[in-house]
Chains A and B, each alone.
Chain A
Amino acid sequence: MMGRLRTGGYHTAMILVSLLWLGPIIWVVVLSTRTFDDIATNGVGSLPHSFTLDTYVQAWTDGGQLQALINSLLVTVPAVLLSLGLAAMTAFALSRFRIPGRRTILLLMLAGNLLPPQIVLIPVSKFSELTGLYDTLWALIAVQVGFGLGFYTFVLHGFMRDLPNEIQEAATIDGAGVGQIFTRVILPLTRPALAALGALSFTWIFNDLLWAITVIRTEGNMPVTPALLGLQGQFVSSWSVIAAGTVIAAVPTVAVFLGFQRHFISGLAIGAVK
């Protein structure tokens, strides 16, 4: 009897917590199916009095979301691969070898992460102009890799440092060089952490707005976040179209999270009990 009550209570509480989390998302989805006139008459907060899917068509065509999503993926995928690849190599070198000044290098990387990014907006903007990368997706990839590198290295360093030394020694005895140890031994063992970081960095880079509008000014090069901002008018916004655009823009990140979910949770758990 007690047990059943406890299970019941647990489920009720969990359903309530889930609703608390899902509430705003459900609200946005419902909002995205309302017409402009319905919202103008009844307000954003009221129950829906209409149903339409034209909002999605509008967001897709007026917002130029196809091109924006392509741009976003063109930036996000290379930026994630490049920054994680470079960070893994750096972390490998810093954690498994006695490199002089490795502590300083690591602290320097961490210190860079503590600075608010806003203070380097002007240098980044001017530097991208000097290098001729301004207003290209390359500039955005470079910035994202540069700013992600410190944090990813720091996390991967902590992970790799705790891998037992005997594995590396055994590989050395078997005749593996540094490159082989990295690709065949350390990288596979780091997979959970890489997957977790991969999902995280994908979301961060995909959702970034600040850097995108700092280094890009042409409509056709804008990723999806500024394109979403473009759906709001100067004074008046059609909330249902914005909600529809938001739902569309959320699909890639949700897909990545679902795909990496297993690794993501195990990656976090490994970090937690360390």
Chain B
Amino acid sequence: MSDFDPSRRRLLGLGLAGVGALSAGPLLSACASSAGTGGTPTTGGAITLQSNLTGAAKSGVEKLIADFNKLGKGTASLNTVATEIFRTQLPTYLSSANPPDLYTWYAGSVANAYSEKNLLLDVSEVWQGMGDYPQSLRTLATDATGKQVFVPMNNYWWGFFYRKSNFAKWGVQPPTNWAEFMTLCQTLKAKGIPPIGIGLGDTPWVASAWFDYLNIRINGAPFHRELLAGKQRFDDPKVKAVFTKWREALPYFDPKGKAYPFQEATTALLAGKTGMFLIGTFLADATAKDVVEDLDFFQFPIIDPAVPVAEEAPTDGFFASAKSANPAATKALLAYAASVEAQETYVANSSGIILPAHPKAKAADMPLVAKGKAMLAGAAELTQFFNRDSSDALQPTADTALTRFIDKPDQIDAILAEWQKNAEKVFKG
């Protein structure tokens, strides 16, 4: 989800989404599975981990594999593929006759969708040794039939990021509720600074964070999940209330934000050209090293104190192919990955700001990380992100609706009606 040669990639994505949709279908996976042989599981066999972690993020998973191989429970090899290729080819990998054993990917409805097609290995056995993990993560790792199919490695959080030095210079304080947030916006605007930064050019999905947060603050996480699962309607008055609230903040958005991607919006924030930016912790990856110390964030302001506080915490981890030729070694690797030791090594060697999934594993020793961890720990409910709580197919419908809303906020009704229509097409498949 970044923005290298977007037009070409979008085309490619269209074509490849087609591959995914079709190849995951029953006909082709049936013909593929006839060629795949289960074989008797043996410990000590070779397994492959198909990974989308490239660049600086790669060393965490490399170290994990190296440490696992020293244990003598199997020989794992790492195969790294660019994220954009991985995203489009994952269905093909999973439905091929001789698939890789393990995959880096997302928990929740994304994993569940593959599990429904019987493509994922049942890892309930691994979860029996994961008693320390909180119920929220266990739920995310469980599919619709009640078996666990996913092992979480880490998550991260979203929030309004800002530079401490800039807030001090402007003499403003982070807000805690919506009214204070509005005052802050007015103050910044009066000083000639666009208060709210955003980057929607090539990365329109960034706008979904606003929708997610407003929805879980106004209507609560259960409604949000039902909406994203197709059990509620987008033209519901409750959804309209989200946009009515959003409209109050809209005049304070950086007008240039529609033109550039989130990475450049980060540069604008750091240069003091915008006041704050609702974004995930991966923004630190786009920040010069000496500036990271100056970064801080505040929680998305509370709107209705009666609604239990939920936070967005996208969870990453591993799932395995149902056709793995060596399920014993695959599960051994997953069990190792879930340990405190493995998670601490993984997080310490990965890039950016991430939190280990194991509640007893230590995260990086930074005030910012401690604050983020405390925020997630204090939340009554956790959601992930729009596409992770629904599907990659539903995300474009949100992108269309939200971009149109930011352009023409007076057409909410028409936009929501169209969103509902587009979403129905996705849910009917």
Residue B287, interface by CB 8 Å: yes
Known A-B contacts A37-B289, A226-B81, A230-B80; A42 and B54 likewise in contact (beta carbons under 8 Å): no
Chain A nearest CB from B318 CB (Å) reads 15
- Please name all residues of chain A whose beta carbon is closer than 8 Å to the beta carbon of B270 when the two chains form the complex: 40-41
User: What separation, in Å, do the CA atoms of A62 and B85 have in the docked complex?
Assistant: 17
A118 to B54, CA, bound (A): 26
Cβ contacts under 8 Å, A218 to chain B:
79
Q: Is the CB of B288 within 8 A of A219?
A: no
B57, B79, B268, B289: the one within 8 Å of A234 (CB):
B57
A43: interface (CB < 8 Å): yes
A231 at the interface (CB under 8 A from B): yes
Instruction: Give the Cβ gap from A35 to chain B, nearest Cβ, in Å.
Output: 9
> Which listed residue, B19, B31, B79, touches A121 by the CB 8 Å rule?
B19
Of the 9-residue stretches A140-148, A209-217, A250-258, which lies at the interface with chain B?
A209-217
Q: Which residue on chain A has the smallest CB distance to residue B79?
A: A219
In the complex, the answer to whether A236 meets B263 with C-beta atoms within 8 Å is yes
What residues of B have a CB within 8 angstroms of the CB of A39 in the complex? 267
Determine whether the beta carbon of B55 is less than 8 Å from that of A217: no
Docked Cα-Cα span, A237 to B85, in Å, equals: 15
Which of A36, A62, A119, A237 has the most chain B CB within a 10 Å cutoff?
A237
Interface residue range, chain A = 35 or more
Question: Quick check: is B264 within 8 A (CB to CB) of the other chain?
Answer: yes
Cβ–Cβ < 8 Å partners of A238 in chain B: 55
Q: Which residues of A contact B2 (CB under 8 A)?
A: 232-237
- Residues of chain B within 8 A (CB-CB) of A213 are 16, 85, 88-89
Chain A 113-132 per-residue mask, 1 if CB under 8 angstroms from chain B, else 0? 00011110110011001000
The answer to whether A217 and B100 have CB atoms under 8 Å apart is yes
Question: At the interface, yes or no: A242 with Cβ under 8 Å from chain B?
Answer: yes
Whether A233 lies near B56 (C-beta < 8 A) is: yes
One of B35, B57, B82, B267 near A43 (C-beta < 8 A): B267
- Checking A214, A233, A235 against B19 with a beta-carbon cut-off of 8 angstroms, the contacting residue is A214
On chain B, the residues within 8 Å of A41 by CB distance are 267, 270-271, 288, 291
**Chain A residues near B271 (CB, 8 Å)?**
41-43
Q: Tell me the complex Cα distance, A246–B344, Å.
A: 35
- The chain A residue sitting closest to B97, CB to CB, is A129
Q: Which of A125, A222, A231, A234 contacts B282 (CB 8 A)?
A: A234
* Residues of A with C-beta under 8 A to B282: 234-236
Q: Which residues of A contact B16 (CB under 8 A)?
A: 121, 213-214
Interchain CB contact under 8 A, B18 and A42: no
A135 → chain B, closest Cβ, in Å? 9
- Point out the residues of chain A lying under 8 angstroms from B57, CB to CB: 233-234
A168 to B289: give the CA distance in the assembly, Å. 72
Confirm or deny: B32 has a beta carbon within 8 angstroms of a beta carbon on chain A. Answer: yes
* A-B pair number, CB within 8 angstroms: 137
Are B96 and A235 in contact, with the CB atoms below 8 A? no
The contact string, 1 if C-beta is below 8 Å from chain A, for chain B 277-317, is 00010110111111100000000000000000000000000
Most buried by B among A42, A62, A219, A242: A219
Please name the residue on chain A nearest to B262 by beta carbon: A235
Separation of A214 and B22 alpha carbons in the complex (Å): 14
- Chain B 62-87, CB within 8 Å of chain A: the 1/0 string? 00000000000000000111111100
- Interface check A202, CB cutoff 8 A: no
Q: Nearest Cβ distance between residue A69 and chain B, in whole angstroms?
A: 16
Judging by beta carbons under 8 Å apart, are A219 and B81 in contact?
yes
Closest to B25 in A: A122
Of chain A, the residue at the smallest CB distance from B15 is A118
Pick the contact of B83: A42, A116, A119, A234 (CB < 8 A).
Answer: A234
A-B contact pairs, 30 of them (CB 8 A): A37-B290, A40-B266, A40-B267, A40-B270, A40-B287, A40-B291, A41-B271, A42-B267, A43-B267, A43-B268, A117-B15, A118-B11, A122-B23, A126-B31, A213-B88, A217-B50, A217-B79, A219-B79, A226-B85, A229-B4, A230-B54, A230-B80, A231-B82, A232-B54, A233-B2, A233-B56, A235-B262, A235-B282, A237-B3, A237-B263
Residues on A facing B (Cβ under 8 Å): 36-37, 39-44, 62, 116-119, 121-122, 125-126, 129, 134, 209-210, 213-214, 217-219, 222, 226, 229-238, 242
